[in-house]
Amino acid sequence: MITMDDIIREGHPALRKAAEEVAMPPSDEDKKTLQDLLDYVSNSQNPEMIEKYGLRPGIGLAAPQINVSKRMIAIRLTDEKGILHSYALFNPKIVSHSIEKSYLTSGEGCLSVDRPVPGYVPRHARIRVKAVSLEGEELDLRLRGLLSIVFQHEIDHLNGIMFYDHMNEKDPMQEPEGAIAIE
Ligand SMILES: OCN(O)CCCc1ccccc1
Ligand code: NI
């Protein structure tokens, strides 16, 4: 199972590399890696597991964060409507997006960043994502709200981008102009 010991931290070069597409159909090894990513996210939301293994809670995780430079992400979160979303995806791709932006009023964090980085992270408000699920089905998702934000955070990791790269350098705490604030 993945624990915090497996998660690389900022400064590790793998966090700044573009990850490779996963060959389809996925190998057993790639399927196991993707399942392990989803298991980490799920375990990190379970109080007993957090306690037992010293896990830092996360709502997503990308393969480069465990030093696997392949295009795989896992996401598990309950959205603003109380709906549980759980995704384990190969080769996710943002195929289109809104001009309108959105941001989390709480800012963002990262399991690979062992420090708070205050500031707003402007992102696309709505995105259309194509990907292949762990079970091999092709997905075509239209996302908004918190789920859209988290997908963009994870797909950024596949392109060597960290959340703070998007912040306004002059004033990170300036609300992004005309963007939707997500509480
Ligand atoms: O890459 C996953 N990760 O480092 C865990 C935190 C995920 C995350 C946190 C805040 C906003 C969007 C995504
Ligand atoms: Ni992250």
Quote the ipTM score. Answer: 0.98
Q: Is 154 one of the catalytic residues?
A: yes
- What ligand 1 atom has the least distance to the C-alpha of 61? 2
- The residue whose CB lies within 8 Å of the most ligand 1 atoms, and thus the one to mutate among 104, 120, 154, 155, is 154
**Cα 53 from Cα 49, distance rounded (Å):** 6
What is the predicted pLDDT for the residue at 121? 98
Amino acid, res. 11: G
Tokens coding 160:
């060597």
**Cα 135 from Cα 147, distance rounded (Å):** 21
Q: Is the pTM of this model over 0.95?
A: yes
pLDDT in tens, 5-24: 999 999 999 999 999 999 99
Beta-bridge partner residues of 97: 127
pLDDT in tens, 56-86: 999 999 999 999 999 999 999 998 789 999 9
pLDDT in tens, 94-132: 999 999 999 999 999 999 999 999 999 999 999 999 999
* Element of type H or E holding 146: helix 145-158
Beta-bridge partner residues of 147: none
